[in-house]
Amino acid sequence: MKKSFVCFGLLLAFSFSSQAQIAKYSNAFLSIGVGARSLGMGGAQVATSGDVNSIYWNPAGMCEVDNNPQVAAMHSEYFGGIAKYDFGGVVIPLDKNADKKSMLGLGLIRFGVDDIPNTLHLLDANGNINYDNVSSFSAADYGFFTSYAREIINEDRGDKVVRIGGSAKIIHRIVGSFASSWGFGLDVGVQAKLGAWRLGGVLQDATTTFNTWGFHFTDADQAVLAQTGNVIPTRSSEITAPTIRLGAAYNFELGEDFTILPEAGFDITTDGQRNVLISSKPFSVDPKIGVEGGYRNIVFLRLGLCNIQHQTDDVGKKITTMQPNFGVGLRLNSFYIDYALTSPGSAGNVLYSHVFSLKLDIGKKQTNSRNKYGRGHRHRY
């Protein structure tokens, strides 16, 4: 009956890490990103993220939010609807009347697979198959964010602005009632606005993120695992190494109504060699490129490129692949609707998914602001 438990064993295998060692791709669900606008631009957001989604992308960007609370929610389904990915967040101003703003943000990410069959006790005491013994469980990852941002420079009517921010995150991962882990990490970020230029940097998992796993198999579970040759896991831990994210953007204004905002970003990982455009030890560099076109700060079209990798095709030839992304957005006064067509997978085996997100400025008065970076109202998209 070993084959009967292969799927169950694969499900748990991700959590068998060496004691207190850096694990490549640890907490990988936190690398997907949040917000349909951001994902439509391929994740190139470190420099230009300026709303509630900055809780994830760059906490310094929360200062772009006007002096009113802002809330957002996102939903997507990956791998043919098997995995559900959701985000919700809120940003609250702390000093509405101050010359230099400070903001508080709270966010939650959930990435989970539900209704997984548990066949550990498929066979009854007599060795017969009993489907009544099959139950279901969920494997889910949670990220809780508490973020703070503050402007430290705001001169020349907003043409020179510098902001800093940080996010403390608590990570909780569960595999049914069998296993769970808790972890803690810290992200710090900075953004600068210099005329039409936007610059940004984030040190993700700045102090490394430490996850500790515990396992909770019953005596009956352990007996079945031992009989079928499966390893019975014990307490373990994993460390997520820091990632450096850099971004630069330039805002082009085309007349009174149109804007084009391209951004180039680079994720520099420190957990060993990865299959990305620039692959080396201990640093690997994964570039991202995105562009957003806007009309009167109402309608937006977005394109992005990410997951640039070296692969081998069917005839053994070395090729470079990349993942294109697409998105659109619509603003209705203080309400925003965004859509993206994207994927969390590698470029060579892309299964695209639909991403929808909503955003609302609570209590914001209607304005005729021309564009996100224009000379009109301070509002930032």
- Would the pLDDT of 101 be above 50? yes
**Token representation of residue 150:** 């503050």
Q: What structural domains does the chain harbor? A: 28-211+240-361 (2.40.160.60)
Mean pLDDT of 109-131: 84
Mean pLDDT of 105-128: 87
d(CA 217, CA 235): 12
Q: Which of 371, 346, 195, 370 is nearest to 292 (CA)?
A: 371
**Over the stretch 67-87, which tens digit does the pLDDT of each residue have?**
889 999 999 998 878 899 999
Q: Specify burial of residue 304 (Cβ count, 10 A radius: 0-12, 13-18, 19+).
A: buried
Question: Quick one: pLDDT band at residue 7, thresholds 50, 70, 90?
Answer: very low
**Over the stretch 289-348, which tens digit does the pLDDT of each residue have?**
999 999 999 999 999 999 888 777 777 788 888 889 999 999 998 999 999 998 876 544
Provide the pLDDT for residue 347. Answer: 47
Is the link from the previous residue into 282 a cis peptide, with omega within 30 of 0? yes
Provide the pLDDT for residue 157. Answer: 65
d(CA 126, CA 18): 38
Question: Quick one: pLDDT band at residue 156, thresholds 50, 70, 90?
Answer: low
